[in-house]
Structure 1
């Protein structure tokens, strides 16, 4: 069985465009030529890869399987090109990172700023995603690196690299009836109106799921687009919030808020980097992993 790299790249273009014509255009081919190549690929595999109709094309189950492998192969090809181009052109490369809300809003901007300022040839695409989308993205090869908090399904073909601990705490305004407590259970907080992050954020979805497991719902007073906005709302007495302790402590320096430890076991979540294969990352990817691990070793765990 023989695979041509251009045919695999064409297959990915067609799959992502859901259109033979659109995929052919991206590959700078005529539709007829693209159709012949796809049929040849199907013949080699002995499997139909697309369902075709007047609306375009849709992947078959075999097509979905090939897409995962094709993306992995093409990333390896790109990694090889990046790795060897550095000898002639200096350090370069591109990384795509899927990360949870806390990572995108809290520590990743500082880490990436330090990392990129010394590597002018490196570019990074950082995207906020939900945990299951991060894991799926790493598994199917649509991202190079994932940043998550909490358990990761060990059955997946992933390398999991823990680097710090993320503890969630209750944040209340000073003078609130809960402010004198040393610890609280999550169930107790559900009696009060909450201030949370926007719908769809990793932290909001996580807390909503935890509330569901208790048979209750979060009383959402307002949802905002960032941790600072949440802390400011809390400080004005609008409600209480559940946030990462490292973030809450930062805003406690200039806002009238108090942090209280959550008693629940899930409140302490291990932060991890996830990759399909660390050794397969380009050099800049391996260096970024080490940068994040070094950052964590120099910072207090929260």
Structure 2
């Protein structure tokens, strides 16, 4: 049952806005680290230590799982040893193709996954997406037009379980032609598959973003919301207002309409990646 937090007195004793005073004078990279290391705190419940961030304030320690976003700080020794063990166990690393954000080569993982799925749409609804030679042979022999109707069905239209778009790219074409085709096809695929384009990352340069992180009290807000989630509580906007803005700089309406929407955008991976690249 959700516990309503309607008074500042109901917040954990570990919360103190003064713990975050050092954020104002931090270097750009150190301030970003404090945000970056908290990026999962709103989605993963820390029930073992609900007020973890509140305890540390502006001194939130390096998150071993994420490491340093700038590659300048080392993780704890025990974690580095675990990494070495994992890297040893995953050897040998034989075949690789380059990949980028949102684009990677088809791997055996995907093929093994497809091999277990039945189509829930299309001409062969209920049959495996990956058809065997006997079924294909029977289709071809029948010579009734079904061979091409079945074999040319796009995999992504056969089952909603298939999340990534399965495509083939012919690199024998010139780059400019491929880029033009991809640009034209993207909006069509989104419409045909019902996948909306994601919101754009946070706008503005780092200076304006930095100012908002501090002025909107984004770091302590994350810690309070993380505690809220881990304890199945619900902090009222009024309590957030008096706790984060004791001098009345922001009221409940501003938190709901301005501060929280900014937090939702800044904590996304594409926004964090954009800022990291700008500061690197």
Same fold (TM over 0.5): no
Greater share of strand residues, 1 or 2?
1
Higher-Rg member (1/2)? 2
User: TM-score normalized by structure 2?
Assistant: 0.21
**TM-score, normalising length from structure 1?**
0.20
Structure scoring higher RCO (CA < 8 A, sep ≥ 6) equals 2
